[in-house]
Structure 1
Amino acid sequence: MNARHLRSIACLGFLAAALPAGAQDGRRQGAPSNLKSVEVSPEKQVTFRIYAPNAEAISVAGDFGNGKMMKDDRGVWSVTVGPLPSDFYTYSFNIDGVKTLDARNPMFKPGIAGNDSMFEVPGQESDFQATKDIPHGSLHAAWFPASVLGGQRRLHIYTPPGYEVSKDAYPVLYLLHGSGDDDAGWSTIGRAGFILDNLIAAGKAKPMLIVMPNGSLSIPDGIRRHEADGKTLTAEWKAASDANQAKIARHLVDDVVPFIEKTCRVKPGPANRALAGLSMGGGHTTRVLTSTPRAFTAYGIWSASIGKDGGKEWEAKNTEFLSGANLLNGSIGILSISVGEKDEGALAGSKALGEVLTRHGIKHELNIGSGGHTWINWRKYLNDFAPRLFQ
């Protein structure tokens, strides 16, 4: 995939400059010249290293867990974890209490909640998202007017192999990220382009565009998040979050889709559009489903919850949507809910969504698989979802 990602240039410069005083990268005097900061063994164990002779304590953490690092007589800190299943992982160092990226590793995931370094444990289990010797699509970043939100907004667009030289029009999958990420999430740690490259090359999915917009909005200043117990969300916070969700749903339908259908060579109309999202993006997908259900022909709701009350409040708020089962079942080809059995934050709410839809006769599927609230699951959901679209 040919990534034209200007932001990565700026971020790489940031990585080299963002180390705490106690840390040094391999280019500084005294550091071993052959130091490998992340090394994967044939047994799929992963060793992390960083040169920081003046640091007092260092650990590494990622979506594989965490590990306390030990210093040798050269000033190199290291720890070995695993073996790990074949997949892509994020990580960062904590040096004397300061989160630090790996300055020796140019592979990273940006996000509004912070950046993380990345590495791959290769193997058959992750073959579906590997970088292979096949035709690759392209990745583009574009700014566009966001009338619903105000100002300019950025999104990423994956175009399939051959798009630049073809005259064909293509269907579109709109793919939404979760809280803490931005529109670059799916094209970096999400591996969306490589997953589609591999599916298309294998004849398992139709060539399509993937549009990855930025779904993040800030809660207004001055709104307290939790009650005195530190756990319960305040009514003001919940109202602000609900308002943001409604804005993003309108933004997708009124800003993003028209921009894509005006500027890209795509097939217009709901029959040629699919929408899927993870976590917060799954909530946005659900909101679009309930507010403008016929805007898309397929919906994927991944690791998203409709609340902790068994869906009672959500059901009461969406009576108009839920009363239209016959119309919905005729216009929506796929309504798929997926969640991991270890996803403590979304499992119950995903089950509740399925139960509410069943009660009202709305056709859907509920897939409960292994794992938790991680990109390891969401990449698999995309790999399963995309081949079913636009057939």
Structure 2
Amino acid sequence: MKNVMLLIALWIFSLPNLQAQEAIFRSQDLISPEMEDNKVTFRFYAPNAQKVEITGDFLPTEKIDSPMGKVDGPGKVTLIKNDKGIWEFKTETLAPELYSYSFLVDGLPALDPNNPFLIRDVASVTNIFIIGGAQADLYKVQQVPHGTVAKRWYPSEGLRMVRRLTIYTPPGYEQSTQSYPVLFLLHGAGGDEEAWMTLGRASQILDNLIAQGKAKPMIVVMPNGNVIQDGAPGEGSKGFYKPQFMIPQTMDGTYEAHFGEIIDFVEANYRVNKEKSQRAIAGLSMGGFHTLHISRFYPNAFDYVGLFSAAIMPRKDATGRVYKDIDATLEQQRDNGYQLYWIAIGETDFLYDANQEFIKKLDAMKMPYTYVETEGGHIWRNWRIYLSQFVPQLF
């Protein structure tokens, strides 16, 4: 009798777990996202939900609040529920691109349990998928020779810590004895040494452009621009914590003033050509701000400069010696000469007007530059395009 009662008790106790497991297994039976003829079907199992929505950058944009004010953000649409408790939405034909998305279940954010592929942008985690073809083929892993991606730690006496950076070496680097040109590639606010690899698809872009003969083999160095961090959240000594959009000292001149330590580390540990003609620097948003000021603070260090949606704006905390005599150092950079000063921005970017003002300054001092204007705003879709357009022009 005791054994019977024990079995009944165990059965009753296990009901919630059985129901939870049933939900998991039902969910995993679904295919989401399902792609056919560049149309995508999303599915989400939530039989008790009142409303399930999807939000993603494949939908028309809408204005949303952000730390930068009103910016373009992804729209959202409601899924349709069937009699099995499965919510579904099918897109129109999508253009080739790397897309991100997430669900809202009764207003609460949720990831797609059927799609294990994720990216983190600051503190937001979303699912991703790629519609191949055209530009988006650069973002895919193709059957071409691949470079090597390493996470290295370099000593920074100026910042009083050992810091982490990401380094891409091109296909064949390990077997070669030649010296390579170097691109220093900088992230934006809220990013870190992981951003260009995960959000920017930098290694895929470099592999594919090099394989196509459109870019020269090069080393790409992706540092962490947040000077109070030794590494990305979860990768540094501070452990796991919520990433922030703006971190203290990110744009006060500290990073730029000690950037030479990164150059020294790379040149001491990799086979690089140390000539100015073989050195480039580029960055997006905050990284564009850093690029502008690093390239003029070291006015004879870089022959190629790329400003991607650069955060060119006055800042109260920009008090470091790096920001002294901006016009004079720009003139020195101009007089020293360079191969390319490349500026790109989207026509609806919230930094558009600031970039136009900077261009007027360059015009006034007769400083040569190349200007590219695209559709869209302050988004990774543009920055991946800018990288794939900038790299073929180097070296």
Moved more, 276-285 or 242-251: 242-251
Question: How far apart, CA to CA, are the structure 1 residues paired with 2:22 and 2:393?
Answer: 47
1:47 aligns with 2:41: yes
Provide the secondary structure at the position in 2 that maps to 1:28: helix
Superposed counterparts of 1:301-340, under 5 Å = 301-307=307-313, 319-322=325-328, 325=331, 328-340=334-346
Query: 2:280 is paired with a residue of what secondary structure?
Result: strand
Pair 366,108 (structure 1): closer, same or farther in 2 beyond 3 Å: same
Three-state SS of the structure 2 residue aligned to 1:295 is coil
Please report the TM-score for the alignment, with normalisation by the length of structure 1.
0.78
Match of 1:291? 297
Whole-Å separation in 1 of the counterparts to 2:193 and 2:86? 36
Name the SS of the counterpart of 2:124 in structure 1. coil
The answer to whether the 8 A contact 2:215-2:393 is kept is yes
Match of 1:371 in 2: 376
Corresponding residue for 2:27? 31
The 3 A distance-change label for structure 1 pair 149 and 90 is farther
SS in structure 2 opposite 1:206? Answer: coil
| Distance in 2 separating the partners of 1:184 and 1:26 | 36
Report the 3-state secondary structure (helix = DSSP H, G, I; strand = E; otherwise coil) of the residue aligned with 2:226: coil
Instruction: Single out whichever of 283-292 and 123-132 deviates more from structure 2.
Output: 123-132
Q: 1:274 aligns with which of 277, 280, 283?
A: 280
Residues 32 and 102 (structure 1), Cα distance of their counterparts in 2 relative to 1, 3 Å cut: closer
What secondary structure, in the 3-state scheme, does the structure 2 residue paired with 1:260 have? helix
* Distance across 1 between alignment mates of 2:90 and 2:312: 39
The CA distance in 2 between the partners of 1:87 and 1:75, in whole Å, is: 30
Q: 1:56–1:324: structure 2 CA closer, same or farther, 3 Å change rule?
A: closer
Q: Secondary structure at the match of 2:27?
A: coil
In structure 2, how many angstroms separate the alpha carbons of the residues matched to 1:214 and 1:28?
A: 38
Task: Give the conservation status (yes or no) of the 8 Å contact 2:299–2:332.
Answer: no
Change (3 A) 1:31 1:203: closer
CA distance 1:353–1:82, change in 2 (3 Å): farther
Match of 2:155 in 1: 145
User: Equivalent residues in 2 for 1:111-150 (5 A)?
Assistant: 111-150=121-160
Q: Kindly indicate whether residue 99 of structure 2 is the aligned counterpart of residue 89 of structure 1.
A: yes
Seen in structure 2, the aligned counterparts of structure 1 residues 323 and 112 have a Cα distance that, compared at 3 Å, is closer
Equivalent residue letter for 1:57: K
Measured on the aligned residues, the alpha-carbon RMSD in Å equals 2.9
Q: Once the two structures are superposed, what CA deviation does each residue of 1:4-51 show, in whole Å capped at 9, x if it has no partner?
A: xxxxxxxxxxxxxxxxx9x98998244362x11212220x22222222
Tell whether 2:52 aligns with 1:58: yes
- Check 1:354–1:75 CA distance in 2 against 1; reply closer, same or farther (3 A cut): same
Moved more, 292-301 or 24-33: 24-33
Counterpart contact for 1:305–1:347, Cα < 8 Å? no
Alpha carbons 1:24, 1:52 under 8 Å: kept: no
Instruction: Report the 3-state secondary structure (helix = DSSP H, G, I; strand = E; otherwise coil) of the residue aligned with 1:283.
Output: helix
Residue 174 (structure 2) pairs with residue 164 (structure 1): yes
Q: Aligned residues, how many?
A: 340
**2:270 matched to 1:264?**
yes
2: distance between equivalents of 1:143 and 1:333?
31
Tell me, which stretches of 5 or more residues in structure 2 are unaligned?
1-16, 60-75, 230-245, 316-322
Within 2, Cα distance between the matches of 1:24 and 1:112? 31
Check the 8 A contact 2:42/2:88 in 1, yes or no: yes
Instruction: Give % identity.
Output: 37
> Residue 39 of structure 1 contacts residue 48 of structure 1 at CA under 8 Å; is this kept in 2?
yes
Scaled by the length of structure 2, what TM-score is found?
Answer: 0.77
Whole-angstrom CA distance in 2 between matches of 1:249 and 1:338:
21
Q: Which consecutive residues of structure 1, in runs of 5 or more, have no partner in the other structure?
A: 1-20, 220-237, 310-316
Contact 1:108 1:116 in 2 (8 A): yes
Question: How far apart are residue 319 of structure 1 and its match?
Answer: 4.0
> Cα–Cα, structure 1 residues 124 and 111, in superposed 2: closer, same or farther, change >3 Å?
closer
2:348 is aligned to 342
Give 1:111 deviation, angstroms: 3.8
The equivalences for 1:174-185 within 5 A come to 174-185=184-195
Contact 1:47 1:78 in 2 (8 A): yes
Residues 323, 214 of structure 1: alpha-carbon distance in 2 compared, 3 angstrom cutoff = closer
Deviation (angstroms), 1:162: 0.6
Q: Aligned partners of 1:94, 1:329: CA distance in 2, in Å?
A: 54
Distance 1:114 1:151, change over 3 A: farther
Counterpart amino acid of residue 310 in structure 2:
A
CA contact (8 A) 2:305 2:341 kept: yes
Task: State the SS of the aligned residue for 1:244.
Answer: coil
Between stretches 364-373 and 170-179, larger displacement belongs to 364-373
Q: Is the 8 A contact 1:297 1:333 kept in 2?
A: yes
> In 2, distance between residues paired with 1:297 and 1:144?
24
Q: What is the DSSP-based 3-state SS (H/G/I as helix, E as strand, rest coil) of the residue aligned with 1:356?
A: helix
Which residue of structure 2 lines up, in the alignment, with residue 102 of structure 1? 112
One-letter identity of the residue aligned with 2:224? N
For each residue in 1:130-171, what CA deviation from the matched residue of structure 2 results, as whole angstroms up to 9, or x when unmatched?
322211112122233333333332221111111111111211
Show the 5 A alignment for 1:190-201.
190-201=200-211
Larger Rg: 2
* Cα deviations by residue, 1:216-254 (Å, 9 ceiling, x for unpaired): 3579xxxxxxxxxxxxxxxxxx9x967634122224x23
1:125 positional shift? 3.8
